[in-house]
């Protein structure tokens, strides 16, 4: 083997939140892991201004980060707990209120900047032995044979491993190279994101209003500001992006209402086109897909990265069990256990989110009437509401060991 070649147990292509978590979980147990990331995040951290990409992180995801030793590094930078959630419909009188106290929990979850998670995970990974980080670097060629997978990088290196994990996002190169197809359908919406200031305090509460155009969510941030995620049809999104701040805030106040008083300031705005996608297979010989490489969902339920983190913890558990049993880590029979464990769960969550989206988009009077009754019934039925909330925050279901509460 030349000096430009390396032999590892596992290669993880994509060092976003899900890829870095997968790599940590495997390296922590002594496997030799190589991580390839073309766009390393800048290490600088602004103590005043929030990044506009933030995610609502479930208790299960927090538990995974704790188990890997990355949670304290995130807290040392910035995380914001949310203790309550208010969801309502601008066309009716139904509303649902979730409270962490009803579940015996400190919080329903945390709002964390994506960059804070990625930086903390990469810092954790760098401190582990037997980890090679190739960044900035991108794969150029993937070859699979009976003995190993081989990945050529654009920096001239060639890497060999028993298994390649594709965590390279929704436009996954690894997925494409393996010929894994996916079912994708655009939501015909874009998410407009920005940080905003409101005249009333957010009270550590996540707020979401369903409108005819799509949901408007305000997530609480540590400095009293809130993070806006406003899903609207593409043309409307493009128009909103063009407005000056005063006219934009006028439109936003009309859509969101006055639950937080007046929304009176907005930072830089960005948009993301939204699509639903699900890979037809999560695995092929010596390859497994995790996170957005395997599935994407609408952001209205704040589940995308949380599903990916459960993929990461599950795949790590399956691979580590195989390692302890002396099995080939890239064997399809080993990987099949991961696919069976996660695919049905992700599909069920995706279907539930799309069902809610469809239900709240309807303005037909009969559906409005039935929806109001359904929403009120759910809000008043504590057992049903707690059951839904415990699934949403990741305290129920067939969780991998890393995600279970201690
Ligand atoms: C507006 C919006 C709001 C959202 N809010 C939430 C929320 O509140 N809660 C939640 O759970 N989810 C949320 N999501 C979803 C969440 O952002 C994604 O599910 C999550 O970022 C996916 O992480 P990932 O690591 O799988 O993929 P990515 O974040 O896409 O990371 C992929 C990584 O792979 C790298 N890469 C790309 N190409 C290659 C290649 N060829 N080789 C190697 N590496 C490559 C990229 O540089 C990147 O670092 C939201 C999404 C949007 C759009």
Express each pLDDT in 47-82 by its tens digit.
777 788 999 999 999 999 999 999 999 999 999 999
The range of the structural domain enclosing residue 127 comes to 5-44+52-79+113-183+278-363+396-403
In a domain, 231, yes or no: no
Task: Tell me if 337 is assigned to some domain.
Answer: yes
Please determine, for residue 210, whether its predicted confidence score (pLDDT) is greater than 70. yes
CB neighbour list of residue 90: distance below 8 Å, 6 or more residues apart: 209, 210, 211, 212, 255, 257
Q: What is the CA radius of gyration of the chain?
A: 22
Higher pLDDT, 398 or 391: 398
Q: How confident is the model at residue 1 (pLDDT cuts 50, 70, 90)?
A: low
Tell whether 244 is covered by a domain. Answer: no
Question: 38: Cβ below 6 Å to ligand 1?
Answer: yes
CA 107 – CA 58 distance, rounded (Å): 9
**Does the predicted TM-score (pTM) go above 0.85?**
yes
pLDDT tens digits, residue range 291-342?
A: 999 999 999 888 999 999 999 999 999 999 999 999 999 999 999 999 999 9
Choose the residue to mutate in 15, 54, 154, 169 for probing ligand 1, maximizing ligand atoms within 8 Å of C-beta: 169
Ligand 1 pocket test: which of 113, 215, 299 has the largest number of ligand atoms within 8 Å of its C-beta?
299
Is residue 201, in this structure, part of any structural domain at all?
Answer: no
Q: Which residues of 60-82 are buried (b: 16+ CB within 10 A; e: fewer)?
A: bbbbbbbbbbbbebbbebbbbbb
Residue 379 lies in a domain: no
- The residue to mutate among 11, 15, 16, having the most atoms of ligand 1 within 8 angstroms of its beta carbon, is 16
Span 96-111, average pLDDT: 92
DSSP E strand stretches across 254-403: 263-266, 270-279, 283-284, 287-289, 295-296
Ligand 1 atom 31, closest CA: 16
Query: How far is Cα 139 from Cα 165, in angstroms, rounded to an integer?
Result: 12
Structure tokens at 376: 């009120």
- Tell me the CATH number at 178: 3.50.50.60
93 is a domain residue: no
Mutation choice for ligand 1 from 271, 292, 304, CB with most ligand atoms inside 8 A: 304
**φ, ψ for residue 322, nearest 5 deg:** -65, -40
Q: How much distance in Å is there from the Cα of 116 to the middle of ligand 1?
A: 13
Cα of 325 to ligand 1 centre, how many Å?
A: 33
Q: Does the pLDDT at position 243 exceed 90?
A: yes
* pLDDT average, residue stretch 1-28: 93
Answer yes or no: is the C-beta of 141 below 6 A from any ligand 1 atom: no
> pLDDT, tens digit, for every residue of 109-157?
999 999 999 999 999 999 999 999 999 999 999 999 999 999 999 999 9
Q: Which residue has the higher pLDDT, 349 or 95?
A: 349
Query: How much distance in Å is there from the Cα of 291 to the middle of ligand 1?
Result: 8
User: Does residue 9 carry a pLDDT above 90?
Assistant: yes
**pLDDT computed for residue 48 by the predictor:** 74
Is 329 within the bounds of a domain? yes
Residue 371 pLDDT grade (very low, low, confident, very high; cuts 50, 70, 90): low
Instruction: Indicate the number of domains in the chain.
Output: 1
pLDDT of 93: 66
Residue 391 confidence (pLDDT) above 90: no
In the block, tokens 């910035």 appear at 78
Q: CA-to-CA distance for 3 and 16, rounded, in angstroms?
A: 28
394 lines ligand 1 (CB under 6 A): no
Pick the atom of ligand 1 nearest to 307's CA: 11
Inside any domain, residue 229? no
With a cut of 70, say whether residue 99 has pLDDT above it.
yes
Distance CA 364, CA 301 (A): 23
Predicted confidence (pLDDT) per residue in 149-195, tens digit: 999 999 999 999 999 999 999 999 999 999 999 999 998 999 999 99
* CA–CA separation, 120 and 17 (whole Å): 10
């Amino acid at each position: 083997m030349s000096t430009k070649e390396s032999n590892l147990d596992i290669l993880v292509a994509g060092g976003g939140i899900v890829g870095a978590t997968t790599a940590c979980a495997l390296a922590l147990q002594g496997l030799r892991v190589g991580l390839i990331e073309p766009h390393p995040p800048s290490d600088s951290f602004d103590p005043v201004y929030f990044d506009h990409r933030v995610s609502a992180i479930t208790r299960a995801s927090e538990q995974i980060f704790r188990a890997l030793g990355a949670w304290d590094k995130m807290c040392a930078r910035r995380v914001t707990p949310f203790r309550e959630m208010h969801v309502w419909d601008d066309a009716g009188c139904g509303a649902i209120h979730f409270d962490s106290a009803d579940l015996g929990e400190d919080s329903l979850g945390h709002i964390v900047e994506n960059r804070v998670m990625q930086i903390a995970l990469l810092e954790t990974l760098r401190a582990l032995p037997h980890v090679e980080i190739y960044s900035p670097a991108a794969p150029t060629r993937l070859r699979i044979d009976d003995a190993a997978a081989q990945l050529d990088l654009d920096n001239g290196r060639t890497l060999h491993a028993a298994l390649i994990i594709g965590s390279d996002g929704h436009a996954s190169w690894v997925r494409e190279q393996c010929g894994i197809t996916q079912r994708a359908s655009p939501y015909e919406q874009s998410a407009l994101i920005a940080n905003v200031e409101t005249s009333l305090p957010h009270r550590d509460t996540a707020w979401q209003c369903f409108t005819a155009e799509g949901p408007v969510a305000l997530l609480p941030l540590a400095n009293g500001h809130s993070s806006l995620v406003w899903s609207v049809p593409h043309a409307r999104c493009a128009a909103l992006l063009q407005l000056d701040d005063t006219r934009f805030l006028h439109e936003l106040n009309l859509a969101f209402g006055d639950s937080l008083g007046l929304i009176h300031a907005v930072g830089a705005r960005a948009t993301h086109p939204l699509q639903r996608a699900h890979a037809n297979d999560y695995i092929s010989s010596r390859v497994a897909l995790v996170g957005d490489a395997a599935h994407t969902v609408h952001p209205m339920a704040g589940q995308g990265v949380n599903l990916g983190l459960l993929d990461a913890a599950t795949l790590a558990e399956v691979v580590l069990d195989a390692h302890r049993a002396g099995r080939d880590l890239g064997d399809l029979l080993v990987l099949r256990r991961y696919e069976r464990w996660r695919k049905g769960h992700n599909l069920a969550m995706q279907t539930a989110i799309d069902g809610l989206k469809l239900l709240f988009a309807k303005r037909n009077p009969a559906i409005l009437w039935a929806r109001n009754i359904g929403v009120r019934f759910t809000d008043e039925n504590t057992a049903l509401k707690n059951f839904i909330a415990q699934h949403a925050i990741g305290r129920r279901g067939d969780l991998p060991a890393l995600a279970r509460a201690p």
